[in-house]
Amino acid sequence: MTDAALSRRRITGAATQVGTEVSINFGSSLAGLVIPIVGSFVVVAVRQLVMLVVVLPVYRPKRAELTWARLWPALALGVVLAVMNVSFYEAVHLIGLGTAATIEFLGPLAIALATSRRWLDAVCAVAGGLGVVLLIAPGTSDAAAIDPWGVALALTSAATWAMYILLTRRVAVGLPGLEGVTVASIVSLLLLLPFAVVTFDASAFDWTVVLLLLGVGVLSSALPYSLDTFILRRIPPRLYSIITSFGPVIAAIFGWLVLSETFTLVEVLAIAIVCGAAGTAIATQRDRPKSDLEQTAEGLV
């Protein structure tokens, strides 16, 4: 594959990733509207159900190919998806979309810093941590106090998001088409379904709630997760993380537009510090030179 073709692949992947960031955060703001009515487990279960409705007609796992060696990354991804989504939505419910999304972004930041030994990365790590501390410190928000359980859930979502990035890359490279994301969605739904059934309240449902749940499923799962395998075949995890560094800002915008969240000047500054630290750390990383074998494999994907 020529350099020009590889460049076009990266541009296409990056542009698609920007679109998925908007889609995910708009979907999260809709989830913020419906979680107080039906609960996080029902919302996430519907997300995964919508995802399966979209991908199963395109790909149905073949029983003969369901071996442990091939599928364990997809199975692990399903567990990560369940924990990541439930913890994030509960955090949104307790501390707001803008704050939860900013704390959650510590996950991709950790990916960028995990193998680095540069002084600049140490500065970025400290700045990102200070930004989060500033965001959740008493007296910085309009609320009387930030819910500590909400912060813990957002941190859990951050850790699982880091796992999601690494596992999705492995699933995208190791499994064809939508095989990996289909298996992961099935696993996630099976894990969440018992909790959703227990918390299900039929009296809370009307057409508005149903439409909101469908919107969350399409915008936050079916569309972005289907595209993530497409994206991560075209751009490396570092570039993926650079683009997602804009996520907290997009989340804050949708939190303001859809959920009527308000932000103090200190909170806006804190979100900007976290995004700036993450963007700087990720953008200044140097890619490891690829071997001839890796370059050949990339050209065949």
Query: Which pLDDT score is estimated for 258?
Result: 93
Residue 209 CB contacts under 8 Å (≥ 6 apart), including other chains: 34, 37, 38
CA separation (Å) from 183 to 46, 72, 74?
A: 16, 10, 6
Averaged pLDDT for residues 62-69: 60
**Torsional sign, CA 157, 161, 167, 168:** positive
Name the one residue in this structure whose structure tokens are 């059934």.
197
* pTM of the complete model: 0.80
Residue 267's identity, in one-letter code, is: E
Among 34-38, 83-87, 223-227, name the one with the lowest average pLDDT.
223-227
Contact between 66 and 119 (Cβ < 8 Å): no
| Cα three-residue angle 21-25-27, rounded to 5 degrees | 120
Tell me the pLDDT of the chain averaged across its residues: 80
**Rounded Cα–Cα distance for residues 241 and 285 (Å):** 11
DSSP letter at 272 equals H
Contact between 41 and 196 (Cβ < 8 Å): yes
Q: Most confidently modeled of 84-93, 137-146, 167-176, 223-232?
A: 84-93
